[in-house]
A and B are shown apart, each in its own frame.
Chain A
Amino acid sequence: MTTHLQIDPLLCNGCGRCEIACGHYRDEGYTVTSSSILLYRAEEKNNYFGLLYKTEDDLVAARPDGVQVRRQGEPVEDSSPGGKPILLRPPCDGCDPAPCARACMAGAIRVAEEA
Chain B
Amino acid sequence: MYLYAEHILMVDLTAGTTNAGSFADDLVEEVIGGVALAERLLADYADRDPVVLATGPLTGTLTPGASLGVISRLGEDGVPLHSPLTLFMGSELKYSGFDAVVIVGESPSPVYLWLHDGIAALEDASQLWGLDTWQTSDAIKTAKGDEVIQVLAVGPAGEHGAPAAQLVANYWGTADAHGFGAALGAKNVKAVAMRGLGILDAEEAEDLFEHSLAMGEAVTSAGLPANVIQGLLGGAPDAAACEEWLAPAVHRSKGCFSCPCRCFTYVKYNEPAQEMASTDVAEPGCLLTDAEAVLALFRGGFSPEEAGRLFEGVARRGLHPMTAAARAVAAGTTTAADGLAAVDADPAATIAQEVTPGGPDERTRAGYVLGVCPAFLAASDSPGLEDLLEAVRLGTGMTLDAEGFSDVTAAVTGVLSPRVV
Say whether A29 contacts B258, CB under 8 Å.
Answer: no
Whether A42 pairs with B148 at a CB distance below 8 angstroms is yes
User: Among the listed stretches B57-65, B102-110, B412-420, which one makes contact with chain A, having 4 or more residues with CB under 8 Å of it?
Assistant: B57-65
**With A and B bound together, what is the CA distance between A45 and B219 in angstroms?**
30
**Interchain Cβ contacts under 8 Å between A and B, 25 examples:** A13-B255, A13-B259, A16-B257, A20-B60, A21-B209, A27-B199, A29-B199, A29-B205, A30-B60, A30-B61, A31-B198, A32-B196, A33-B199, A43-B278, A45-B134, A47-B252, A47-B284, A48-B278, A49-B254, A64-B276, A65-B278, A83-B195, A83-B197, A105-B216, A105-B224
Query: Which one of B95, B251, B262 lies within 8 Å of A31 (CB-CB)?
Result: B95
5 new A-B contacts at CB < 8 Å, known A14-B254, A47-B284: A13-B255, A20-B61, A29-B199, A63-B278, A83-B146
Say yes or no: A20-B62 contact (C-beta < 8 A), given A28-B205, A31-B95, A83-B195: yes
Contact between A81 and B62 (Cβ–Cβ < 8 Å)? Answer: no
Assembled-state Cα–Cα distance A27/B261 (Å): 27
Contacts of A106 in B (CB 8 A): 260
* Size category, B interface: 35 or more
9 pairs of A and B residues whose beta carbons are closest in the complex? A82-B146, A105-B260, A42-B147, A31-B199, A47-B266, A65-B277, A30-B200, A14-B254, A65-B276
Let me know if B297 is at the binding interface, CB within 8 A: no
**B134: A residues at CB distance < 8 A:** 45
Q: Which residue on chain A has the smallest CB distance to residue B259?
A: A15
- Contact between B216 and A17, CB atoms less than 8 A apart: yes
Chain A residues, Cβ within 8 Å of B262? 13
Please give, as numbers and ranges, the residues of chain B lying within 8 Å of A15 by CB-CB distance: 255-260
CB distance from A107 to the nearest CB of B (A): 8
> Distance in Å from the Cβ of A38 to the closest Cβ of chain B?
10
Indicate if B357 sits at the interface (CB-CB under 8 A): no
Contact assessment for A46 and B197 in the assembled complex, using a CB-CB cutoff below 8 Å: no
Within 8 A of A (CB), among B298-351: none
Measuring CB to CB, which residues of chain A are less than 8 angstroms from any residue of chain B? 10, 13-17, 20-21, 24, 27-33, 41-49, 63-65, 81-84, 99, 102-103, 105-106
B201 part of interface (Cβ distance < 8 Å)? yes
**B356 at the A interface (CB under 8 A):** no
- Bitwise interface map of B from 131 to 153 toward A, beta carbon under 8 Å scored 1, else 0: 00010001000001111110000
Spell out B's residues near A (CB within 8 Å). Answer: 60-62, 64, 88, 91, 95, 134, 138, 144-149, 170-171, 195-202, 205-206, 209, 213, 216-217, 219-220, 224, 251-262, 266, 276-279, 281-285, 287
Q: CA separation between A99 and B62, bound complex, in Å?
A: 11
By the criterion CB–CB under 8 Å, are B148 and A83 in contact?
yes
CB distance from A100 to the nearest CB of B (A): 11
Query: Which chain A residues border B284 with CB–CB below 8 Å?
Result: 46-47
Using Cβ atoms and an 8 Å threshold, which residues of chain B touch A64?
Answer: 252, 276-277
- B255 / chain A contacts, CB cutoff of 8 Å: 13-15
When chains A and B are docked, how far (Å) is the Cα of A84 from the Cα of B282?
25
Name, among A30, A48, A65, the residue most crowded by chain B CB atoms within 10 Å (CB to CB): A30
B213 touches A81 (CB 8 A): no
Residue contact B62 to A17, C-beta cutoff 8 Å: yes
Distance from A105 Cβ to chain B, minimum over Cβ atoms (Å): 4
- B213 near A45 with CB under 8 A, answer no
Tell me which of A42, A83, A99 contacts B213 (CB under 8 A): A99
Q: How far is the CA of A27 from the CA of B201 in the complex (A)?
A: 9
Contacting pair A24 B209 (CB below 8 A)? yes
Q: Which residues of chain B have C-beta atoms less than 8 A from A10's C-beta? A: 252, 276
Chain A residue contacts of B138, Cβ below 8 A: 45
Minimal beta-carbon separation of B288 from chain A (angstroms): 11
Tell me, in angstroms, the Cα distance from A65 to B275 when the chains sit together: 8
CB distance from B198 to the nearest CB of A (A): 7
Residue of B with least CB distance to A24: B209
Are B258 and A44 in contact, with the CB atoms below 8 A?
no
Residue on B nearest A97 in the bound complex, by CB: B213
Flag if A13 contacts B149 (CB, 8 Å). Answer: no
Contact of A81 among B145, B202, B209, B277 (CB under 8 A): B145
Instruction: List residues of chain A with CB within 8 A of the CB of B219.
Output: 105
What's the nearest-Cβ distance from chain A to residue B97, in Å?
A: 12
CA–CA, A65 to B277, complex, Å? 5
- A26 to B213 alpha-carbon distance, docked (Å): 16
Bound CA–CA A30/B57 (angstroms): 12
| Most B C-beta atoms less than 10 A away, residue of A20, A47, A102, A105 | A47
Whether B148 contacts A31 by the Cβ 8 Å rule is no
**Bound CA span A79–B342, Å:** 41
CA distance A106 to B258 in the complex (A): 11
Residues of B within 8 A of A14 (CB): 254-255
| A66 vs chain B, min Cβ distance (A) | 8
Find chain B residues with CB under 8 A from A83 CB. 146, 148, 195, 197
